[in-house]
Amino acid sequence: MLQPSIYQKRVMLGLLLICQFFSCEKVYDAPPTALEAAFAADMSIKDLRAKHVMGKFEQITEAKSIVAVVVADDASDNFYKSLVIQDSTGGITVRMDGIKLCTSYPIGRKLSLNLKGLWLGDYGKLIQLGAGVDISDPANPGLLSIPSTLFDQIIRKGEIQTSVPALKVTIATLNNNYQSRLIQLDSVEFIPLDSAKAFADFTNKLSVNRTLKACNNGSIIVRTSGYANFANAKTPVGNGSVTGIYSVFGTTKQLIIRDERDLNLKRPRCK
């Protein structure tokens, strides 16, 4: 068998050293992509909401963004021209001048919103995000919806989650920190006067309030639009859990369900 020459040994040694050099070379993390950068929030919804003074309007002038998940859309028409989004710190309602928003922004979709130029306002003390201030009636200014032509400039769409868990709370503990958040109330039922009644006035397209009470303590309004596709359905007569978006109108606590699947009232009523 032929022995390798001195030259061959030197070549083999050089190749071995080169391989060792590259195998030990530090592997650096790849720079973030544009999509990853877009979904790196630099403001929480809690901090965004803290910028608002009730009854006032504030324009956001900083180049900030929030990243949130859609928890309510317009699929059932119980939410009109709006999305409700939340992150781990809070929720907010976004006024959007468009229909069938659910096709692009369904429940569970992760969004990144560019806040610069948008405005904060409130309706009945429910804090909202919009595009400007409507002063056509100077005595009653309102928040303008974001035009559909700006949707793609302001909103970046991310992946869709299969489910969004609701936050379990009690009626007694609800406060403004829970505004526009997906919540779940347990051991609740519609009061006898509002059981087995239509959720809303579908014929005249009028919203209706139904009262939901807890077995232990407290009650809350379930408000349903006359345009909701389940408006004519009857409220359940049993007891159980209800999921929905917490809202307010002045000092009145309200729960807005997204559709009938948010109701699980099949147990016996409170004694």
C-alpha 76 chain-centroid distance: 16
pLDDT for the residue numbered 41: 79
**What is the distance between the alpha carbons of residues 106 and 220, in angstroms, rounded to a whole number?**
27
Contact 43, 64 (CB under 8 A): yes
pLDDT for the residue numbered 235: 98
pLDDT for the residue numbered 5: 60
Token pair listed for 255: 């729960």
pTM of the entire structure?
0.85
**What is the distance between the alpha carbons of residues 214 and 169, in angstroms, rounded to a whole number?**
11
Whether residue 62 is found in the same domain as residue 128: yes
> Where do we find the tokens 């016996």?
268
Q: How many residues does the chain have?
A: 271
Tell me whether residue 248 is in a domain. Answer: yes
> Would you write out the chain's pLDDT as a tens digit for each of its 271 residues?
445 565 555 655 555 555 454 444 444 444 555 556 667 779 999 999 999 999 999 999 999 999 999 999 999 999 999 999 999 999 999 999 999 999 999 999 999 999 999 999 999 999 999 999 999 999 999 999 999 999 999 999 999 988 899 999 999 999 999 999 999 999 999 999 999 999 999 999 999 999 999 998 899 999 999 999 999 999 999 999 999 999 999 999 999 999 999 999 999 999 7
**What is the distance between the alpha carbons of residues 46 and 54, in angstroms, rounded to a whole number?**
15
Domain extent for 153: 36-160
Whether residue 154 is found in the same domain as residue 220: no
How many structural domains are present in the chain?
2
Whether residue 98 is found in the same domain as residue 132: yes
Kindly list the distances between the CA atom of residue 115 and the CA atoms of 19, 101, 181, 186, in Å, as whole numbers in the listed order. 50, 19, 20, 35
Last residue within a domain, chosen from 134, 160, 186: 160
pLDDT for the residue numbered 162: 83
Task: Please give the angle made by the CA atoms of 89, 90 and 93, to the nearest 5 degrees.
Answer: 150
Whether residue 136 is found in the same domain as residue 77: yes
